[in-house]
Structure 1
Amino acid sequence: MTESDLIERFRRNPTPAQLLPVYERYAERIYGWCLRYLGTPERAEDAGAELFPVLLRKLPKHEVTNFGSWLQSVVRNHCLMQLRREQRDPLALTAAEDAGMQSANLQHLSQEPTPDTRPLHHCMKQLSEDQRRCIHLFYLREGHSYQSVAAELHLSVGQVRSHLQNGRRTLKLCLEAYAAPKTDPRAH
């Protein structure tokens, strides 16, 4: 059977048994895509296995004209969400989150400021209220997505993305300035 025939058969009867032949045709590619994003064979295998129920749930809801491209997008999003969940602790900003920022080892904001966390607490105060609230929910409260932050704060997903991007940029610049060696103006 062709791929389209298998997908059509699955659409008429969306059961795991009907999805399995389609999944098996792409299993090696799914593994390769997951390996590229997640870096280790074990993590790639786990993610590939997690994708079967995701596909079972998503495929009937979408009119897919190019299954391979659609599947690659689903795999990419799944892997990036996994990476984001792993990086949530605490305010860890990675290239996967924002290609413009380098990874930063930032301390958890839920604790009282210590000499190590004082710069971060100082810089968080430089953010707008919306930026601070978005960053707090997205990075410090487990399980939040753009959509859930948007719903909780009564903002659009675009506004949440913008507040997060601008807040991360402001934090990065502030922390870099805070860490820069202070020069004595009398030395010149």
Structure 2
Amino acid sequence: MLSRPKKHPDTKSVKDSDLLARFQTSGATADLLPLYQRHAEFIYALALRYLTTPQRAEDAGAEIWSVLLEKLPRHEVTNFKSWLHTTVRNHCLMQLRREKRDPLQQPVGGDVQSGDLLHLSVEDGEETIDTRPLHRCLKKLKAEQRHCVNLFYLREGETYQSIAASLELSVGQVRSHLQNGRRNLKKCLDGTNE
């Protein structure tokens, strides 16, 4: 379990909004650290609620650090704790969705699973489709391209607008990530088929 992070004494009385403004102005990771440490237990507890195991919750907490570094400079955040709650929740839900669709990302129990999970069967008696090249190519995409492609093509009912809302992007950014993701997937798959 995560140990309680030490807080910098000079930031105890500083509001979240002031720490956030300092980071958004400087862009220095050292300015984000006190804000992250202040909410580390909250991030861990929320991730644990969704992901159910301490190890997965700790991993998600580490991933959230990268998400904050990437997203905070370009988002206007009026209530940091609420925004953080939504960000952690969406991160965990997207991880669970990926695992549900991708047998390679499923947590493995004590037994080693068979290689049959690497193949998806169309129907009994029909030819088996090898999806390993697609999985490898999806993993090579940039994170936002991969998230957009997964949501748009592997989830029924997702629209540009719903993807934009869940990933906190504009509809134009979603279109761009989908277009670039498709192009990069095609290049990667063409390279694996040669």
TM-score, length-normalised on structure 2?
Answer: 0.52
Long gaps (5+) in structure 1: 91-106, 119-136, 162-188
**Would you say how many aligned residue pairs link Structure 1 and Structure 2?**
123
What is the aligned partner in structure 1 of residue 11 from structure 2?
none
How far apart in 2 are the matches of 1:79 and 1:150?
14
- 8 Å Cα contact 1:146-1:160 kept in structure 2: no
What is the aligned partner in structure 2 of residue 27 from structure 1?
40
How far apart in 1 are the matches of 2:58 and 2:65?
12
| Residue identity (%) | 49
What is the aligned partner in structure 2 of residue 147 from structure 1?
148
- 8 Å Cα contact 1:31-1:44 kept in structure 2: yes
How far apart in 2 are the matches of 1:5 and 1:159?
34
- Deviation of 1:151 after TM superposition, in Å, equals 7.8
Classify 1:3/1:160 alpha carbon distance in 2 versus 1 (closer, same or farther; 3 Å): closer
Q: Which one has a bigger Cα radius of gyration?
A: 1
- Deviation of 1:113 after TM superposition, in Å, equals 3.2
What is the aligned partner in structure 2 of residue 62 from structure 1?
75
- 8 Å Cα contact 1:89-1:108 kept in structure 2: no
1:114 and 2:124 equivalent? Answer: yes
Q: 1:11-22 counterparts in 2 under 5 A?
A: 11-22=24-35
Match among 100, 117, 121 for residue 87 of structure 1:
100
Long gaps (5+) in structure 2: 1-13, 104-116, 139-144, 163-194
- 8 Å Cα contact 1:9-1:18 kept in structure 2: yes
Q: Which amino acid aligns with 1:81?
A: M
